[in-house]
Amino acid sequence: MDLALRPMSTSQVLDRTFSLYRQNFVLFAGIAAFPPAVLMIGQLLLLLVTRPFDQANPASPDPARFGAVMGGMIAGGGILWALYLAGYAFATGATVYAVSRVHLGYPTTIGESYRLIKSYFWRILGIVFLVALSLGIVIFIAALFFIVPMAIGIAGGRSGFGAGVGLVGALLGFLVMSAGVVFVIYASTKFSLSVPACVLENQGVIDSMKRSWSLTEGTVLRLILVIILAAVIAWIVSMVLSIPYFVGVGLMVTRKNPSGLLPFVAWQYVAQFLASCLAGPIGTIAPALIYYDQRVRKEAFDLQLMMQAIGQAPPQAASVASPGSIG
């Protein structure tokens, strides 16, 4: 409770993040399990239905069957991606609520966190979709500056002019694409407090994004550090859990037996699920704590206002307060 009302350094934010996660592991891992569970179940069902490795003659597969398998996987993948995006939005909002409770010294449950966030679902989904779409468009445009000159160079064949134009254009395109990637990292960081602003201040989609852009002023590098740390942890956990998959792929390639890949690919889906459950909460807990920290720094956000933001009584009545609700 002492850290809830005073500015925290980056090390204190990270320490608080891991402390809350360790003390409430089942809560946060349970909330985070929903979207990767939907994805894993869908991937396993898709794998069992399409059975892409069961080719009678891998050297010359049946074109009709191959087309049907590819079509089914593409269609199924699109549906799974939409479901995962919805689940991710739901889980992110629930995690923000749970952080707001435990950070201020109050208990909560997985069910309560999801139940009390339902009224915010469409707004959170709108934020996630709008941010992803905007940043995706930036990456797409930046990539075109690299791909188009490369295509010109290839089309020019052995022509010195065409090859020269392609090379110069590709170098310039690479610089533009690199700048686009930097901008995407910066912008995603600036929007990273949108969901806490939506949930804890009852803001709309655009207002939450504007609020996040304002609140993150002066703390972008800290948020980038947190995002990179969460990504590195997730990657390490994923790589460790994926060892059986890599071993299996090596064995199947050596034996030239693609049909034997099925159980190893299935395990890879399970490994991705476990990695998301274990490492995913870190990337949501830390920004939620930074949201509170920024409000303390910028707005002298006192405890009374913090309690009101999540429907709680002030600290002197905390011992007899009933669980609060959002909205």
What is the CA angle 214-220-226, rounded to 5? 125
pLDDT class of 51 with cuts at 50, 70, 90: confident
* pLDDT value at residue 177: 83
The Cβ of residue 169 has, within 10 Å, a number of other Cβ atoms equal to 19
Q: pLDDT tens digits, residue range 13-31?
A: 889 999 999 999 999 999 9
pLDDT at position 254 is: 81
- Residue 263 pLDDT grade (very low, low, confident, very high; cuts 50, 70, 90): confident
Task: Strands of the chain (E only): list them.
Answer: none
- 184 has pLDDT over 50: yes
CB atoms within 10 A of CB 224: 15
**What is the Cβ-side half-sphere exposure of residue 107, based on CA atoms within 13 angstroms?**
6
Mean pLDDT for 121-128 is 94
List the one residue out of 265, 185, 256 whose CA is nearest residue 227.
Answer: 185
* Average pLDDT taken over every residue of the chain: 81
Is the confidence at residue 193, as pLDDT, over 60?
Answer: yes
Confidence of residue 319 (pLDDT cuts 50, 70, 90): very low
Q: Which of 197-211, 249-263, 266-280, 299-313 has the lowest mean pLDDT?
A: 299-313
Mean pLDDT of 306-319: 47
Phi, psi (rounded to 5 degrees) for 27: -60, -55
CA distance 41 to 110: 20
Ordered by start, the domain boundaries in the chain are 23-320
Is pLDDT larger for residue 190 or for residue 64? 190
> Quick check: 290 pLDDT over 60?
yes
Tokens found for residue 293: 């920290």
Q: Rounded mean pLDDT of 94-110?
A: 90
Q: How far is CA 197 from the centre of its chain?
A: 17
- What is the per-residue pLDDT for 216? 92
Distance (Å, rounded) from C-alpha 44 to C-alpha 48?
6
What is this structure's pTM? 0.78
- Residue at 119: amino acid letter: S
* Per-residue pLDDT, 43: 87
Three-state SS string over 37-105 comes to HHHHHHHHHHHHHHCCCCCCCCCCCCHHHHHHHHHHHHHHHHHHHHHHHHHHHHHHHHHHHHHHHHHCC
